[in-house]
Amino acid sequence: MSARINPSILSADFVNLQADLERIASADLVHVDVMDNHFVPNLTFGPQMVGRIQDVSPVPLDVHLMISDVDRWAPGYAELGAYSVTFHAEATSDPVALARRLRSIGARAGIAVKPGTPIEPYLELLPEFDQVLVMTVEPGFGGQAFMPETMPKLQALSAEVARTGLDVWLQVDGGISADTIGIAAAAGADTFVAGSAVYSGSDPASNIALLRAAAEASTHTH
Ligand code: DX5
Ligand code: ZN
């Protein structure tokens, strides 16, 4: 398996974003954290900013919506051309309808669960999604510690993906570093978000390569 590494620009320099996007050209996708100071306590940016990121990014966009009222706002991110749009299960009462709408616009549809949200109710919905994001920290801030107690959710997802043969990416986000990425890879993750681990130090490209190698060394083989 080739591990996908999606750097989170939450750890980039917001006033030099174009330069910081160019520094991660070797990544698979760029992870764009939209926060509304309501679903999570933090605030980042909205569709206008994400549209400009889309214009200049060397890699496609993996948009992570940490916002309420996703039924109203998520389709706009698909319309501006994001490759993937992930909304939180906790933010909608009809995840299937929203996923179908995102796919009809042409985006990959992702569903995210916070650490305290069980995955079982969503296993039977896997055919409706292109990606499941298991949060490995409480959403809202970069630089938090990885929560290994979320790994049984990945194991359940990974078993269901193997059983059904569906092509659903299993993403983890929060506290992913060279020390923790192997734990998530062994549990079945194939798509890894990393903010501080990519943008710390002077060379994001070598951080990306290091993370990719560490994930691939621990990848669970079916
Ligand atoms: C946190 C965001 C993450 C964040 C991860 O709620 O969803 O994408 O940028 O940051 P690190 O990798 O520093 O934990
Ligand atoms: Zn994120």
The CB of 110 under 6 Å from ligand 1? The reply is no
Residue with the smallest CA separation from ligand 1 atom 4 is: 142
- In the reported structure, the alpha carbon of residue 133 is separated from the centroid of ligand 1 by a whole-number distance in angstroms of 12
Q: Which helix (H) or strand (E) holds 171?
A: strand 169-173
- Supply the residues annotated as catalytic: 33, 173
- Per-residue pLDDT at 1: 60
CA distances (Å), 220 to each of 71, 106, 183, 189, in order?
Answer: 35, 31, 10, 9
The CB of 142 under 6 Å from ligand 1? The reply is yes
Structure-token match 């510690």, residue found: 145
- Per-residue pLDDT at 222: 44
Name the closest ligand to CA 9.
1
Nearest to residue 173, comparing CAs of 1, 5, 57, 13? 5
Task: Let me know: does 98 contact 70? Beta carbons within 8 Å.
Answer: yes
Q: Which helix (H) or strand (E) holds 33?
A: strand 30-35
The CB of 7 under 6 Å from ligand 1? The reply is no
Per-residue pLDDT of the chain (222 residues; tens, 9 = 90+): 689 999 999 999 999 999 999 999 999 999 999 999 999 999 999 999 999 999 999 999 999 999 999 999 999 999 999 999 999 999 999 999 999 999 999 999 999 999 999 999 999 999 999 999 999 999 999 999 999 999 999 999 999 999 999 999 999 999 999 999 999 999 999 999 999 999 999 999 999 999 999 999 998 654
Angstrom distance (rounded) from CA 222 to CA 71 = 36
pTM of the model: 0.98
- In the reported structure, the alpha carbon of residue 181 is separated from the centroid of ligand 1 by a whole-number distance in angstroms of 13
pLDDT in tens, 11-29: 999 999 999 999 999 999 9
Structure tokens at 189: 């993750």
Burial of 117 (0-12, 13-18, 19+ CB in 10 A): middle
